[in-house]
Amino acid sequence: MTKEGLHDLLEVMSLEEKVGQMNQLSGSFFNPSASVTGPIEGKKFARESISLCGSVLGLMGTKTVKKVQKEYLENHPHKIPLLFMMDVINGYKTIFPIPLAQGASFAPKLAGHCARIAAKEAAADGLHVTFSPMTDLVWDARWGRVMESTGEDPYLNGRFAEAMVKGYQGNGFDRPYAMAACVKHFAGYGAPEAGRDYNTVELSQHTLRQFYLPAYEAGIHAGAALTMASFNTLEGIPATGNLWLMREVLRKEIGFEGVLISDWSAIEEMISHGYCADRKEAALRAVMAGVDIDMMSGVYAEHLVRLVREGQVAETLIDEAVMRILKLKNNLGLFENPYPDSDENEASRLFLCQEHREFARKAARESFVLLKNDGILPLAGEKKTAFIGPYVGSQNLIGSWSLTGDVKDVTTLKKALLEQGPNQDMAFAQGSPMLDEMMDLEGFHERQKENFTPGEQEKMLKEAIDAAKRAEVVVMALGEDRLQSGEATSNANIQIPKVQQVLLEEVSKSNENVIVVLFSGRPLDIRNIVQKAKAILQVWLPGTEGARAIVDVLFGEYNPSGKLPMAFPYCVGQVPIHYNSYPTGRPHIPGKDKDRFRSKYLDIPNEPLFPFGYGLSYTCFSISPVMLSKKDMIKGGCIEASVMVKNIGSVKGTETLQLYIHDLAASVVRPVKELKGFCKVELKPGEARKVCFSITEKELRFLTGNGRVESEEGEFEVYIGNSSSTDNKARFMLGCRR
């Protein structure tokens, strides 16, 4: 439809029709089997609200979507098609590693291709919009939703946000099977106090702009069609009704022109926040802030028409919101074809096809992080190996937000091992339940509660100990259950379940050659595991083909290359923790623990157990001192920073070189390091390569003391290494020397 056609359509729509476009309902109002991703108790909507609603979430399947769309269009006054939306987070039917794991790949292009495959499968099944990527910055591992972010760094998150948006959408929906992407949750959702989901967020303007906004901005500038408002408050005002945040920052400063949607029932929740007295005021606050679509609260459907007719809301405000929604539908081609890519045969062909499975396996391999290796990995096939732990036979490898996936499609680690090495001397034992006694977990559509008698648990443990005694090497598959991370899974204890800790303790007494394959949706406190294991491979929640990828890495078919996108804390007492912190006036000096008046803990180190950017390989690399092309940079100029990296080990491997910048003195305190670039380099044994980074004045800009994003003259340190803890640095000046 032409631009003029859209305006003509808006002109003839009744006020009720317009408000209907701003109302989103769960698919359960159209089909009882639809996915539900939020509380639905007490949700009642008038029949007219249902018949005129502009979008549906949680409904999928070509037959179902086509049926609902057809019936809706037959009864709609102006035949405006529905939008079908879904949380397609890390895959649709073919499930990829969780987003945090994808961040560990340090390969945005890989994540973009995962998004492209997800869009193909989802669009073929009738969907138009995905609520992804989540670009929230995360510093606190207690918050379960860290699994849906790509980590603790603004720069890294921004690169992944760009890649994922383009993966879903293409260049302006110019290809088949494109989906509209939604950047979420605007803004600051990843910083809830105490790591407790939906809790208050308290950020200074400087911290918000310096650390949290850049990744949202990157996704929006990449062309994201939608943005989702966050549940939390900012400066005492819920984001959903925050006029300054949405109108000034999102619309004017960042330049977002797409559709702004609330999160589930968030408009109504402004009453619980104490910001609105009732549903009518909530509708007024949200529409004034510029929220275009009310997801599942019914507040707009109930009150917007009346607010306009009472003169409290100008109809032009409604028109602006509705035009954005109509433009989105038009950009997706829905007016010409309400079922643009929906094709049952094509969906069946694409779902879990060999090409998609192979890429899922590749993505999983690249996401694994080798945290420790005392030379025990890779495994030698001739050694008698016992595989022990609740994850040996589990199919729950896909993450809690994999709503559209099915664990039945997941290969277990045991099956993958038998496929690859049926003639090898292997033993298998579960060893323990996945969860502690009385632990009862609830997901969106499932509950996880194990009921083993004490006798059954004792038998499992004995079988594991016996297997360990007979083996030369023990591989223990341990970790969080997948329902222990995700939305509404905040946890004050970020260790593996106690029953698994007991299993590790007993097995390690029987065999000292222990390798731990660690599953989780968040960084964990693994001090005890580090003490007892000779090797630790962090595999996150790796998806449909995760087990086969694990076998590839364990037996050396693939050399692990992942790097931590989020630090593993020494213990929960350190969180929130992140590498790019500000220096203090009394910094702790390592080795001087008795110097009392310093910023330090009495009982634990300041540093995390494993820092951002950390990850080992089966080979070793040497990195030369940093070389600079010059020691001075003029405004508008650039400096080349380089190192020579060499594979000094015996097998081919990939190293990820990371560039960090530190501004030594500025009008506001600057982080001790900031990631500004990274480069993955694959090298054969003995091979060396020069890796160059170009540093421009743009990389030196920040939010200065006068409130502008700009650079300041002065001295800078440039670091190049293989983690954020590197001290390999050189110095240069920007502008005139002082």
Residues recognised as catalytic: 263
Q: Which two tokens stand for residue 582?
A: 């500000």
Rounded Cα–Cα distance for residues 531 and 575 (Å): 21
Contacts 24+ apart (CB under 8 A), 348-354: 350/93, 350/120, 350/121, 350/124, 351/92, 351/93, 351/94, 351/121, 352/93, 352/94, 352/409, 352/544, 353/94
Place of tokens 């990157």: 218
Which residues, 6+ apart, have CB-to-CB distance to 171 below 8 Å? 223
Instruction: Determine the Cα angle at 66 with ends 62 and 68, to 5°.
Output: 120
Q: Which two tokens stand for residue 139?
A: 């510093």
* E strands, 6-53, in order: 23-26
- Is the N-terminal amide bond of 454 cis, ω within 30° of 0? no
Place of tokens 């694994």: 368
Give whole-number Cα distances, 113 to 85, 160, 425, 485, 612, in Å.
20, 11, 37, 24, 24
Mark residue 496 as left, alpha or beta (left: phi above 0; alpha: psi -120 to 50; beta: remaining): beta
DSSP, res 356? H
Rounded Cα–Cα distance for residues 587 and 585 (Å): 6
Q: 10 Å Cβ neighbour count for 636?
A: 8
Pseudo-torsion of CA 461, 464, 469, 472, nearest 10°?
-150
Question: Which among 461, 351, 490 is positioned nearest to 408, based on CA atoms?
Answer: 351
Q: Work out the burial of residue 434: count CB atoms within 10 Å of its CB; fewer than 13 is exposed, 13-18 middle, 19 or more buried.
A: buried
Torsion 332-169-486-516 (CA) sign: positive
- Is the N-terminal amide bond of 229 cis, ω within 30° of 0? no
Backbone angles phi and psi of 504, in degrees to 5: -60, -45
Strand, coil or helix: 381: coil
Which residues, 6+ apart, have CB-to-CB distance to 714 below 8 Å? 663, 664, 665, 666, 733, 734, 735, 738
Strand, coil or helix: 483: helix
- Could you please report the per-residue DSSP string of 245-288? IIIIIIIIIS---SEEE--TTHHHHHHHHTS-SSHHHHHHHHHH
Q: What is the β-pairing status of strands 714-721 and 729-734?
A: antiparallel
Rounded Cα–Cα distance for residues 189 and 230 (Å): 6
Q: Do the Cβ atoms of 264 and 296 come closer than 8 Å?
A: yes
Q: 10 Å Cβ neighbour count for 637?
A: 12
Strand, coil or helix: 397: coil
The span from the first CA to the last CA of the chain, in angstroms, equals 61
Question: Which among 602, 610, 538, 596 is positioned nearest to 573, based on CA atoms?
Answer: 602
- Helices 546-554 and 413-420 cross at an angle (nearest 10°) of 50
